[in-house]
């Protein structure tokens, strides 16, 4: 008996299915890693000037995939989730060029820098962000002014609190809140301040 022959269309379909499954598995692994890639292939036109945002090659934003909306809206969650040492903060300053690579931590210089910058969680802890260095950046307090409004660390806090409140009220999913903060927190700031619905990135 001759072995069965695979017709070309069947073989091609099987090959395509294998490739599709491979792509899906890679995507799933990237999501589980907590640092979904958002690079030059997905250009973003920001509302605010560049100084309002972290360098996406250094701080793409990282989440804790296992964290749920119920967890982040539990009182005391951020206190237990926050684990950013002085050494890690110093590494962030080195990453952004405020200190030389390999330079040991200088306590006085660190204090001076911390008066100007907050080592900010790009995706905040209250929105499921992680303590990974890829989610940290030195956000200035004295930031650019747009439409008469300073856009610095304290203004980003307003966005984080506003999105967290919407999650708690069941009006916004955790994933959508993370996408909003990563895509353009300045746009969300003006929407929240003027009482408009926040735009969810597509």
> What domain range is 141 assigned to?
37-193
* Residue 187 domain flag: yes
Q: What CA–CA distance (Å, rounded) separates 126 from 106?
A: 30
Tell me the DSSP string of 23-41.
HHHHHHHHHHHT-----TT
pLDDT at 36: 55
Q: Against a cut of 0.85, is the pTM above it?
A: no
pLDDT at 194: 93
- CB crowding 113-142: b at 16 or more within 10 Å, else e: beeebbbbbbbbbbbbbbbbbbbbbbbbee
Residues lower than pLDDT 70 in the chain: 1-43
* Residue 176 domain flag: yes
Q: What CA–CA distance (Å, rounded) separates 197 from 14?
A: 45
Place of tokens 């009006």: 171
pLDDT at 34: 56
> Do 163 and 177 touch, CB atoms closer than 8 A?
yes
Q: Which of 28, 29, 126 is nearest to 76 (CA)?
A: 126
At residue 65, the 3 state secondary structure works out as: coil
* Residue 143 domain flag: yes
* Residue 17 domain flag: no
* Residue 56 domain flag: yes
Axis crossing angle, helix 153-168 with helix 174-193, rounded to the nearest 10: 120
pLDDT at 11: 38
Strand intervals (E) in 91-135? 117-121
pLDDT at 17: 46
The structural domain count of the chain equals 1
* Residue 5 domain flag: no
Q: What CA–CA distance (Å, rounded) separates 45 from 153?
A: 20
* Residue 8 domain flag: no
* Residue 71 domain flag: yes
pLDDT at 62: 96
Q: What CA–CA distance (Å, rounded) separates 149 from 130?
A: 29
């Amino acid at each position: 008996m001759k072995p069965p022959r695979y017709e070309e269309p069947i073989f091609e379909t099987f090959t395509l299915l294998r490739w599709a499954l491979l792509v899906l598995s890679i995507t799933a692994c990237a999501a589980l890693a907590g640092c979904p890639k958002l690079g030059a292939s997905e250009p973003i036109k920001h509302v605010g000037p560049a100084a309002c945002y972290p360098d996406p090659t250094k701080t793409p934003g990282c989440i804790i995939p296992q964290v749920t909306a119920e967890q982040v809206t539990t009182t005391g969650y951020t206190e237990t989730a926050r684990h950013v040492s002085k050494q890690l903060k110093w590494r962030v300053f080195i990453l952004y060029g405020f200190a030389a690579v390999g330079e040991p931590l200088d306590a006085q210089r660190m204090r001076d820098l911390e008066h100007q910058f907050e080592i900010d969680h790009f995706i905040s802890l209250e929105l499921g962000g992680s303590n990974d260095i890829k989610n940290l950046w030195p956000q200035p307090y004295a930031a650019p002014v747009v439409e008469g409004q300073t856009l610095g660390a304290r203004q980003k806090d307003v966005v984080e609190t506003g999105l967290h409140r919407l999650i708690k009220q069941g009006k916004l999913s955790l994933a959508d809140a993370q996408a909003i903060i990563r895509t353009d927190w300045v746009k969300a700031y003006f929407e929240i301040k003027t009482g408009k619905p926040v735009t969810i990135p597509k």
